[in-house]
Amino acid sequence: MRTLLRPLSRPLSLVLLSAAARPALAQEAEHGAASGGGGLLDPHAGLMVWTLLIFAVLLFILTKFAFKPLTAAVEAREKALEDAIAGAQRDREEAARLLAEQRAQLEGSRGEAQKLIADARGAAEKMRADLLEQTRQQQAELLDRARRDIDAERERAVADLRREAVDLALAGASKVIERNLDDASNRRLVEQFLTTIPANGARR
């Protein structure tokens, strides 16, 4: 420890010496201050009072006329910016909402249209089927009636023809055998003959 301190002792003593000499130097400086100048380390109460006074006034003036307006302006600007950002956010959300709404609406109307078209198509199909059915029925009905008419007409015509034929045959035969034949027995014979002929065949 001692050997360690030895090389240090000289600078150390110098430092201590200068520290001890300091008050003397300060005193000297004060001496100089008394004669007009000012020492480096001597306090000056008047100057401290002046410093505090000037600082207080400066604090008041700057706070009132510089920092408050400046801060207020900056805060107003920040607020305006924030408002603008919030507004943009709101607008964007609104737009997104509207877009979704529109899209949903579009989707809805598309479905509706689809449904309408399908309905219309179904209705048309049904109507067509109905109409077809109706027409077919009418046609069948008409056909039926025509067939019935034709049958009735034919029957009447056959009956008429038959009566006419009987009449003609009777007239002819009566003319032929008027003289020799018993009218009644001959007639029966012919009638018998006629019944053996089928209606169709007779027509041919």
Partner 1 sequence: MRLFGSLALAATLALVGAPAHAQDAHGAVPAAPAAQPSVTDTSSAATASAAAAAVGTAEQRGEAQTTVAEVAAQGHAATPAQAVDIITPHITDAPHFEYPCLSGDYAILTCEGHLPTGWIVPVGSYQLDLSPTKHVLMMLLASALACLVLIGAARAHKRHSHAAGHPKGFAAGIEALVLYIRDEVALKNLGHHGEKYVPFILTLFFFILFANLLGLIPYGSTATGNISVTAALAVLTFVVVEIAGMRAQGAGYLNTIFYWNKDLPIFMRVPMFLIMTPIEIVGKIAKPFALAIRLFANMTAGHIVVLALIGLIFLFRGPASTAPFLAASAIMVLELFVAFLQAFIFALLSSVFIGQIREAHH
H helix and E strand count, the chain:
5, 0
Give φ, ψ of 76 to 5 degrees: -60, -40
Residue 36 dihedral angles phi and psi, to the nearest 5°: 125, -35
Applying CB under 8 A, among 7, 11, 36, 201 the residue interacting with partner 1 is 36
Site map for partner 1, 125-164, x if CB under 8 A? ----------------------------------------
Contact 125, 170 (CB under 8 A): no
Residue closer to partner 1 by CB (options 88, 118) is 88
Taking CB under 8 A as the criterion, the residue among 4, 8, 45, 184 binding partner 1 is 45
33 binds partner 1 (CB under 8 A): yes
Contact between 83 and partner 1 by CB under 8 A: the answer reads no
CB of 56 to partner 1, least distance (A): 9
Rounded CA separation 74/63 (Å): 15
Q: How far apart are CA 76 and CA 80, in angstroms?
A: 6
Q: Does 25 bind partner 1 (CB under 8 A)?
A: yes
- Asked whether 187 and 174 are in contact (CB, 8 A), the reply is no
- Residues found near partner 1 in the complex (CB under 8 A): 25-26, 28-29, 32-33, 35-52, 54-55, 57-59, 61-63, 65-67, 69-71, 73-74, 76-77, 80
